Amino acid sequence: MSRNLPVEAARIGADIDALARITEPARPWTRRAFSPLFLEGRAYLERQMKAAGLETRIDPAGNLIGRRAGRVPGRGTLMLGSHSDTVPDGGRFDGIAGMAAALEVARALSDRGIELDHDLEVIDFLAEEVSIFGVSCIGSRGMTGQRPEAWLSRTAEGRSLAGGISQVGGDPSVTEVRTDLRGFIELHIEQGPVLEREAIDIGVVTAISGITRIEIIVEGRADHAGTTPMTNRADALVAASEIVLDVQQAALSMSRSPGHFTATVGEFQIEPNAANVVPSRVRMLIDARAEIREDMESFCAFIDDTAERVAEKWGVTIAAPVRISDVAASPCDERLIDILEDAADECGISHRRMASGAGHDTAWIAKVAPAAMIFVPCKEGRSHCAEEWAEIDDITLGAAVLFEAVLRMDKGQES
């Protein structure tokens, strides 16, 4: 990399490689939250935090935090970071790139003898990915008072979530709501193809799309597949298949609107699932994601209408679709967006605004404090798979923007 940057690619690459080696040997890259390997990865991060001059602790929510005190007491905290846990079989860069970049900013500040007015914290959020307890973003929700109390009693592998938080060093009996955060920035791989396709160095995230999951149950009638006339059937699968195609067409149409939108039928069960029986019941789960809330409401209304129409057409029964979860989009802070764009310009790094279709810890921090994200390109937009890849030089460009943004946040500079 020929540019004169304040951060070092070699150190970023070394952190990513070191964490990549901490994985289930037959399942790269697997280091799930609450596992022994996760704790081994955290031990590495803690050593690196201390080497960067940070004072480390585990907060009550189970997050690993490295702190660098500012020179003006009471000014508040600037926070950087992401997560070190992975999904099964995929996660060499997802979350890890953000941790490595945040650590490198702390090192670069130390190298240059730069003292900030604000405290600086580098954070490894607990369990951003869906954990063995079936829930995600445990650390960021816990740190901001948004973790449901009922979650603590969820069990897996012979322990409760409360026990799991305790085992990583947290204290689930303590409810902490951080009020000192003056700004949070998370660097992350894009997990999409836009930056690579357009040959743009970084993305400045405008919002983390909201996620709504809609359950539809289609009730038909089981009959003999060989003797029941085609004109005398209530085939639940045929009706459900039409809904799937309608979801696809509606999502394609809505994706052309100004805001990010996707919809996927990702879960699908059929009963009795026998070759010689007309399907009697189908359950499907739609995952819909929207940057603009009005788009989500329009889509949900479309699904309601579609269910009624399809039920009448095919002679089946479809109960009103149920929103089993419904999280609104989290807009990023406009001031931080401006700071990131100005920082990129200062570094000579190309950028574009874009929404995130994936969920991130930033979405929960954004509900209580100014927050923003930097995206860096990843190969073919692939993520959550063993083939996930990002170039260290690309991550380093993002880290350079992060470094410059911290300086501007500290001094309150927007342009």
Range 153-165 average pLDDT: 97
For residue 1, what pLDDT is reported? 55
Range 114-141 average pLDDT: 97
Residue 400 reports pLDDT greater than 70: yes
Please, what is the average pLDDT of the chain?
96
Residue 4 reports pLDDT greater than 90: no
Residue 415 reports pLDDT greater than 60: no
pTM, two decimal places: 0.92
What does the pLDDT look like over 336-381, one tens digit per residue? 999 999 999 999 999 999 999 999 999 999 999 999 999 999 999 9
Residue 414 reports pLDDT greater than 80: no
What does the pLDDT look like over 204-261, one tens digit per residue? 999 999 999 999 999 999 999 999 999 999 999 999 999 999 999 999 999 988 899 9
For residue 257, what pLDDT is reported? 83
Domains of the chain: 9-209+329-411 (3.40.630.10), 210-327 (3.30.70.360)
Residue 197, classed as helix, strand or coil, is helix
Range 271-276 average pLDDT: 98
Q: What is the DSSP string of 105-170?
A: HHHHHHHTTPPPSSEEEEEEES--S--TTS---HHHHHHBT-S-GGGGG-EETTEEHHHHHHHTT-
For residue 176, what pLDDT is reported? 87
pLDDT band at 186 (very low <50, low <70, confident <90, very high): very high
Cα separation of 64 and 99, whole Å? 11
What does the pLDDT look like over 278-302, one tens digit per residue? 999 999 999 999 999 999 999 999 9
What does the pLDDT look like over 387-398, one tens digit per residue? 999 999 999 999
For residue 376, what pLDDT is reported? 98
Range 143-171 average pLDDT: 97
For residue 195, what pLDDT is reported? 98
| Percent of the chain residues past pLDDT 70, beyond the cut | 99
From the list 140, 52, 61, the residue with the least C-alpha distance to 327 is 140
For residue 340, what pLDDT is reported? 98
Range 139-145 average pLDDT: 97
> Helix/strand/coil (H, E, C) string of 158-177?
CEEHHHHHHHCCCCCCCCCE
For residue 413, what pLDDT is reported? 57
What does the pLDDT look like over 52-79, one tens digit per residue? 999 999 999 999 999 999 999 999 999 9
For residue 2, what pLDDT is reported? 53
From the list 185, 116, 238, 189, the residue with the least C-alpha distance to 358 is 189
Residue 100 has phi, psi (to 5 degrees) of: -65, -40
| Percent of the chain residues past pLDDT 90, beyond the cut | 96
Residue 378, classed as helix, strand or coil, is coil
